[in-house]
């Protein structure tokens, strides 16, 4: 497992796609996100997919991605890239499901996943108790995954620093 943490809009998804590409992670199932290095700053946008017009001779590469804000929990068990683990955690908490069980299932069923998650602990502490719990649980989940991941990266301004 590979974990990529960082603030919002820092290029985590583009980096995850590059790691998948380098590891031979091209797939042809379920959700597909086109990779185009000319538009890496647009890959983390929620209004995805951006218009990635290509010339006829340019090859398009696709990677299977589960989006935490919208895809099923089952998709996370199968997809090569899990984008937005913090959003999966938000949904689990709202549905009253255990985050630890989800993380354990991920580690067992998808041990080669590349996971992105936002750092939520920097900044003002939320006033809403549910938002505080989400922030705390997301941080603890990142710690748990970092301990068992073979690689951990921190993204800042589109630059990945390997910290494990």
What is the model's pLDDT at position 6? 96
Q: Is the pLDDT of residue 60 over 80?
A: no
What is the model's pLDDT at position 62? 53
- Helix (H) / strand (E) element for 73: namely helix 73-78
How far is the C-alpha of 109 from the C-alpha of 41, rounded, in Å? Answer: 31
What is the model's pLDDT at position 31? 39
């Amino acid at each position: 497992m590979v974990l990529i943490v960082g603030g919002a809009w820092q290029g985590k998804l583009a980096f995850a796609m590059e790691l998948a590409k380098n590891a031979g992670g091209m797939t042809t199932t379920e959700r597909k996100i086109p990779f185009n290095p000319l538009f890496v700053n647009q890959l983390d946008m929620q209004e995805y997919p951006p218009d990635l017009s290509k010339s006829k001779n340019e090859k398009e590469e696709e990677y299977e991605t589960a989006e935490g804000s919208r895809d099923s929990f089952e998709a996370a068990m199968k997809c090569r890239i899990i984008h937005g683990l913090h959003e999966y955690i938000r949904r689990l908490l709202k549905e009253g499901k255990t985050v630890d069980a989800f993380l354990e299932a991920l580690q067992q069923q998808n041990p080669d996943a590349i996971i992105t998650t936002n750092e939520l602990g920097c900044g003002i502490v939320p006033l809403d108790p549910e938002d505080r719990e989400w922030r705390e649980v997301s941080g603890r989940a990142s710690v748990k995954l970092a301990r068992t991941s073979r690689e951990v990266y921190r993204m800042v301004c589109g630059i990945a620093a390997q910290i494990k």
